[in-house]
């Protein structure tokens, strides 16, 4: 298995999800020689408005909380959260169970975090905790690593009186844990600067908080453009902060804390010392796109110098003409952006993609999934409406989840030679009643007879 593996993810309180929704990525029993390759893909199906995009959006929030100490202090973040946190629950709860391979043994961690408004109307971390147990143990009891309530440390593993490291942790986090996660706050300069103070009783705390930080960096989230509300939030924030236009714009640009070098069709900012690597990446992108467009001859880079950077646009080269990538089809432009995410999954990242099927032909989509199932070293979870991939996904366990209109998860369970796609189309999957008939549209558009 990979060094960190996501076992379960649960969320409540985002968009339409007012009940707890839980995704399972592995079987309940964990052995030392577990085969995660059999569980590395999951597709989430559901009717429009069932909450699929909300799940993916919440993972993006979780990632930012784990790695960005300024995330909740960003005015655009606050505007965005105010729009997407469920108005009924008034709080967002997220829980991630993940496995860490420490070579000698496997350990299962559970991280929980809740966001809610404080008295000033700002979203803060109302509660946060991290717990652990030996993964191969038959006991489900978890040992607490840390717990934070209302911005104050309620429990800290290994804390002793006159313990210099514990004292340093308490002092460093004082009055900050309501707006910054323990992980993001400590895993920057603090742990390095205080490494000499770390005592034997605190090694467990340091290792576990470091692995949580690594989990945050291993998460990569692709949101469909219609479900990425940050630009809308940024524009609205700018209207409220007209005299702070520049600072707000910078805040918006900082919101995407993905370490991935996502390629754009236009205006890629590339450090001059990184340009040779960028050229190699673009050549690999060409090889990827050539599978979909056999008449594509090459991808040229149109670069302009800007101080320490090159500003790079992509130009698609065909047999008798060239075209700026901006004028390519929507599907090709989506593949350009997806390239980095798919590459990260192959290398071992934990990737969530919303609306994977939009603008992609299901033949290509199925071929991609077959490759990732066989050769991907990481995990991929995606939402889709396309039933085509179901018969590919059914080959693996825990690979298909159905999200019902009332926000309940119904996992696909293999049953003989039954086809999940056929059952889904016929409304035979629990929680997915496709009871729409063509005659239902007559009341809206008419029968057409009146036009004769």
Say if residue 318 is in the same domain as residue 354.
no
Q: CA torsion sign, 81 to 85 to 88 to 91?
A: negative
pLDDT at 448 > cutoff 70: no
What does the block give as tokens for 402?
């159905």
Is residue 337 assigned to a domain? Answer: no
Say if residue 208 is in the same domain as residue 312.
no
Is residue 211 assigned to a domain? Answer: yes
Q: CA torsion sign, 158 to 159 to 161 to 164?
A: positive
What's the mean pLDDT in 346-366?
Answer: 92
Say if residue 312 is in the same domain as residue 197.
no
Q: pLDDT tier at 259 (50, 70, 90 boundaries)?
A: low
Is residue 37 assigned to a domain? Answer: yes
CATH of the domain at 208: 3.40.50.300
What's the mean pLDDT in 262-279?
Answer: 92
Q: pLDDT tier at 157 (50, 70, 90 boundaries)?
A: confident
pLDDT at 241 > cutoff 60: no
Higher pLDDT, 225 or 407: 407
Is residue 343 assigned to a domain? Answer: no
What does the block give as tokens for 37?
């390759």
Say if residue 56 is in the same domain as residue 172.
yes
Q: How far apart are CA 24 and CA 44, in angstroms?
A: 11
> Residue 27: left (phi > 0), alpha (psi -120 to 50), or beta?
beta
Exposed e or buried b for every residue in 405-437, given b needs 16+ CB within 10 A? eebebbebeeeeeeebbebbeeeebebbeeeee
Q: How far apart are CA 205 and CA 193, in angstroms?
A: 16
Say if residue 63 is in the same domain as residue 187.
yes
pLDDT at 231 > cutoff 60: no
Q: How many domains does the chain have?
A: 2
Is residue 194 assigned to a domain? Answer: yes
The DSSP secondary structure of 82-122, one letter per residue, reads HHHB-TTT-EEEEEEEEEEE-SS-EEEEEEEEEEEE-TTS-
Say if residue 129 is in the same domain as residue 211.
yes
Say if residue 442 is in the same domain as residue 295.
no
Say if residue 273 is in the same domain as residue 414.
no
pTM of whole model > 0.95? no
Can you point out the beta strands (E) in 249-321? 268-271, 298-306, 309-317
Q: How far apart are CA 280 and CA 5, in angstroms?
A: 29
Please give the residue range of the domain that contains residue 308: 266-327
Say if residue 222 is in the same domain as residue 295.
no
Contact assessment for residue 357 and residue 386, using Cβ atoms and an 8 Å cutoff:
yes
Say if residue 1 is in the same domain as residue 95.
yes
Say if residue 276 is in the same domain as residue 165.
no
Partners of residue 85 on adjacent β-strands: 14
Say if residue 175 is in the same domain as residue 59.
yes
Partners of residue 403 on adjacent β-strands: 46, 409
Angle between helix 230-240 and helix 245-254 axes, rounded to 10 deg:
160
Is residue 296 assigned to a domain? Answer: yes
């Amino acid at each position: 298995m990979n060094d960190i593996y996501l076992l379960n993810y649960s969320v409540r309180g985002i968009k339409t999800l007012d009940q707890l929704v839980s995704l399972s990525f592995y079987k309940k029993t964990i052995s030392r020689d577990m085969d995660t390759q059999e569980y590395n893909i999951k597709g989430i199906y559901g009717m429009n408005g069932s909450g699929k995009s909300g799940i993916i959006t919440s993972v993006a929030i979780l990632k930012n909380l784990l790695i960005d100490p300024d995330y909740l202090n960003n005015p655009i973040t606050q505007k965005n959260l105010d729009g997407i946190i469920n108005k009924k629950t008034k709080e967002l709860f997220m829980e991630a169970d993940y496995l860490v391979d420490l070579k000698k043994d496997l350990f299962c961690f559970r991280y929980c975090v809740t966001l809610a408004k404080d008295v000033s109307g700002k979203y803060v971390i109302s509660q946060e905790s991290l717990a652990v147990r030996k993964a191969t143990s038959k006991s489900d009891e978890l040992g607490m690593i840390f717990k934070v309530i209302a911005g104050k440390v309620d429990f800290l593993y290994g804390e002793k009186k006159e313990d210099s490291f514990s004292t340093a942790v308490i002092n460093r986090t004082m009055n900050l844990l309501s707006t910054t996660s323990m992980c993001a706050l400590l895993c920057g300069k603090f742990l390095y600067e205080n490494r000499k103070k770390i005592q034997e009783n605190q090694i467990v705390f340091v290792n576990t908080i470091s692995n949580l930080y690594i989990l945050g960096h291993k998460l990569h989230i692709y949101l469909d453009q219609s479900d990425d509300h940050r630009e809308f939030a940024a524009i609205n924030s700018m209207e409220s902060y007209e005299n702070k236009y520049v600072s707000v714009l910078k805040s918006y640009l900082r919101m995407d804390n993905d370490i991935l070098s996502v390629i754009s069709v236009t205006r890629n900012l590339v450090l001059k010392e990184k340009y040779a690597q960028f050229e190699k990446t673009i050549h690999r992108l060409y090889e990827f796109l050539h599978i979909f467009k056999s008449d594509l001859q090459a991808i040229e880079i149109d670069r302009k110098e800007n101080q320490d950077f090159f500003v790079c646009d992509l130009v698609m080269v065909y047999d008798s003409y060239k075209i700026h990538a901006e004028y390519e089809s929507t599907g090709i432009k989506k593949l350009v952006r997806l390239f980095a995410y798919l590459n990260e999954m192959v290398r071992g990242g934990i990737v969530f993609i919303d609306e994977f099927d939009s603008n992609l032909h299901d033949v290509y989509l199925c071929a991609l999934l077959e490759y990732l199932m066989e050769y991907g070293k990481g995990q991929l979870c995606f939402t889709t409406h396309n039933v085509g991939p179901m018969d590919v996904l059914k080959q693996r366990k825990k690979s298909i989840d159905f999200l019902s209109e009332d926000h309940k998860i119904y996992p696909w369970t293999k049953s003989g030679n039954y086809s999940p796609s056929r059952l889904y189309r016929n409304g035979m999957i629990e929680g997915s009643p496709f009871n729409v008939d063509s005659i239902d549209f007559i009341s809206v558009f008419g029968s057409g007879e009146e036009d004769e």
